A and B are shown apart, each in its own frame.
Chain A
Amino acid sequence: MAKTVEDVKIARVIKHSRLKKHFRYNWKSGYGMLIPSFILLILFMYYPAMIAIGFSFTNWDGFNQPQFTGLTNYSALFHDKIFWLSLKNVGIWAVIKVVIELLVPLIVAVVIYHLNSKRMQYIYRVLFVIPVVVPGIVMFMIWSFIYDPNVGVLNALLHAVGMDGFIKNWLGDPKLALYALMFVGFPFVIPFNLLIFFAGLQNISESIYESAKLDGITRIKRFLHIEMPLVMGQVKLILILTVIQLLQNVTLPLVMTNGGPGYSTYVPGLYMYFLAFQNGQFGLGMAVSMIIFVIVLILTWIQMKYINPSTEYEA
């Protein structure tokens, strides 16, 4: 009897080790299956990234042999007023927009989540996701039209309600243009963020809400003390993604104001584009993109380090 038990054990061990062996030694297919992806990544991601780092120390103009110029590009940027202005613009932009783009979708997600009808929850989510299918460029052009000083919707609306005093040349006024650009996409229910927050809320256990209900907690308190802390994991993810995306926002100012009027809507990404593709200063342009990259890295690191997700909850 004892023998058979041992036999079974041995058989199990043999089977297990064979499996393990198989699992461990499939390096051939392991590497093989990575080849197509890595050819693309090495050629068109890693290698260009290396070029960007290396050539940001040269005076390359795209035609002549590049010469190593050390930190000349970086010190030139350090003394460049336009570059500092563009940094300031993107700073204002990022700070205001990050708050709005996190808060508004979160509030909307909470309101939708607490609807009693599951069907209506779904319908609202679909409604808010629809803008995803309209190409960004189309949205920017519609907003250019909304701001148009002569035939635009915004001025027509102000005229219709008798507030003619507020009629402005929104994109043509250097003091207003940056804020007008930031207002594009109002009311800022970013679909991606909304869906992620909603998923986060669905993960919160039902029992928390029930006990909160028994305590007679108000909606605002529930939002601040239950929902906000419990979706911190999602907040962290979206914070990183939003900042990265805001810092490299080029298309919006390029299409709507071309950086103008004057330099009032310059952002670093746009400056980089102009330097490289209009002035042919590829080396200097890459130095700008390196600085953007470093800023992104530092911000990401700070977020990872100091914002701990408190998603672990034990009921």
Chain B
Amino acid sequence: MIQHLRKDFWSHCFLVILAFIALYPFIYMIITSFKTNGQFYSHFFGITFPLHFENYRLAWESIGGYIFNSVFVGVVSVLLIICSSALAGYSFARLRFLGKNFLYMSVVALLMIPGLLTLIPLFLLIKGFGLLNSYAGLILAFAAAGQAFTIFVFRQSFASLPEELFEAARIDGCGEMRVFLQIVLPLAKPIVGTMAIWNLLTIWNEYMMPLVLISDSSKFPITVGLIQFKSQFVSQTLYGPMFAGYTIASLPLLLLFIFTMRLFMKGLTSGAVKM
């Protein structure tokens, strides 16, 4: 180990400094989230004691509701995305029917369509359905937006399963639905998990869609809610609670990442490379 470190000394220097700079804004955020205004002005960069945990309580009172909204909308949308696109991915990967390639290409083509193109019409459409300012409208919009990429990755992954598995099941007279549920899904758990995380991440970060579709502040997800939250604390210049709020907004995903790290990184690289 030590020998390794010595051998790659300059590489390690380079990487450590770069990682520190990349992570510094978040380190600063966490340090500042424990400060009172007095500590903030007297020790701008350093860690100060005592740590003020009450900043977090104060911040949670304002953004707890937004976090709940994001979790609810995120989980329901991801379930919808995974269920529907796993079926579609299986169909594209393993079954034969007329027009399959055309349909598949029309799905892949969506990867090239910028989300901005559909933002205005989506707003008008959802307004037309009377779903503006509701969780349902937001969830449907998210579920549709996640389809193309998820189907694409699932198809790649299901297509690489060995054909013998399917032959055996089909000779036994298994229906396609049963083959899918009992053979494909258990084998595909890692990629399903990865895509669930990937979609949750995208939805958690999305700003424009909820900004346009939701106007009632009690239904805001965390991204839109944070803007409101920020203006509330900036006007009172309470920097501690403000940064505590930012930290809380990042915690759910950080926890998810910590618990699924290997799966997450593996899937990110395996799924997206082969285009």
Residues of A within 8 A of B (CB): 19, 22-27, 29-34, 36-38, 40-41, 43-45, 47-49, 51-52, 55, 62, 108, 111-112, 114-117, 120, 124-139, 141-143, 146, 151, 153, 156, 186-187, 189, 192, 195-196, 198-200, 234, 237, 244, 247-248, 250-251, 254-255, 269, 272-273, 276-277, 282, 285-286, 289-290, 292-293, 296-297, 300
Contacts and interface: CB of A to CB of B under 8 A. Distances in A.
Nearest to A62: B124
Contacts of B269: 195-196, 198-199
A44 B223 contact: no
Given A137-B226, A248-B116, A269-B116, A51 B25 contact: no
B114 A293 contact: yes
Nearest to A250: B208
Interface string B168-183: 0011000111001000
Given A26-B96, A126-B265, A141-B230, A131 B23 contact: yes
B207 A30 contact: no
Given A37-B84, A135-B253, A120 B125 contact: no
Contact of B167 (A19, A43, A62, A195): A19
B144 interface: yes
11 contacts: A23-B96, A33-B176, A40-B84, A43-B144, A52-B120, A115-B8, A133-B254, A135-B223, A137-B249, A142-B29, A282-B120
A132 B254 CA distance: 9
B272 A282 contact: no
B155 to A, nearest CB: 11
B96 A30 contact: yes
Nearest to B116: A248
B71 interface: no
Nearest to B122: A48
B159 interface: no
A135 B204 contact: yes
Contact of B120 (A128, A136, A142, A289): A289
A51 B112 contact: no
Chain B binding site: helix, strand, loop or mixed by DSSP?
helix
A14 B5 CA distance: 63
A48 B14 CA distance: 47
Interface in B226-275: 226-227, 230, 239, 246, 249-250, 253-254, 256-257, 261, 264-265, 268-270, 272-273, 275
A292 B114 contact: yes
A11 to B, nearest CB: 13
A45 B167 CA distance: 36
Contact of A37 (B23, B113, B147): B147
B85 interface: yes
A200 B272 CA distance: 11
A27 B98 contact: yes
B115 interface: yes
Contacts of A251: 207-208
Interface of B: 1, 4-5, 7-8, 11-12, 14-15, 18-19, 21-23, 25-26, 28-29, 44-45, 80, 83-85, 87-88, 90-92, 95-98, 100, 103, 107, 110, 112-125, 140-141, 143-145, 147-148, 151, 167, 170-171, 175-177, 180, 201, 204-205, 207-208, 212, 222-223, 226-227, 230, 239, 246, 249-250, 253-254, 256-257, 261, 264-265, 268-270, 272-273, 275
Contacts of A116: 4, 7-8
A40 B144 contact: yes
A49 B118 contact: yes
B98 to A, nearest CB: 6
A177 to B, nearest CB: 19
A199 B270 contact: yes
A49 B22 CA distance: 37
Given A37-B151, A293-B117, A196 B273 contact: yes
Contacts of B83: 36
Q: Which of B98, B180, B223 has the most CB of A within 10 A?
A: B223
Q: Which of B21, B91, B239 has the most CB of A within 10 A?
A: B91
A138 B70 CA distance: 15
Given A41-B147, A141-B226, A293-B114, A29 B176 contact: yes
A153 B28 contact: yes
Nearest to A276: B120
Given A34-B87, A44-B141, A49-B121, A130 B257 contact: yes
Contacts of A36: 83-84, 87-88
Contacts of A62: 124
Nearest to A289: B117
A66 to B, nearest CB: 10
Contacts of B14: 111
A52 B117 contact: yes
A277 B223 CA distance: 19
Contact of B95 (A29, A112, A139, A289): A29
A138 B75 CA distance: 21
Nearest to A129: B265
Contacts of B119: 272-273, 289
Nearest to A118: B4
B249 A40 contact: no
Contacts of A40: 80, 84, 140, 143-144, 147
B249 to A, nearest CB: 5
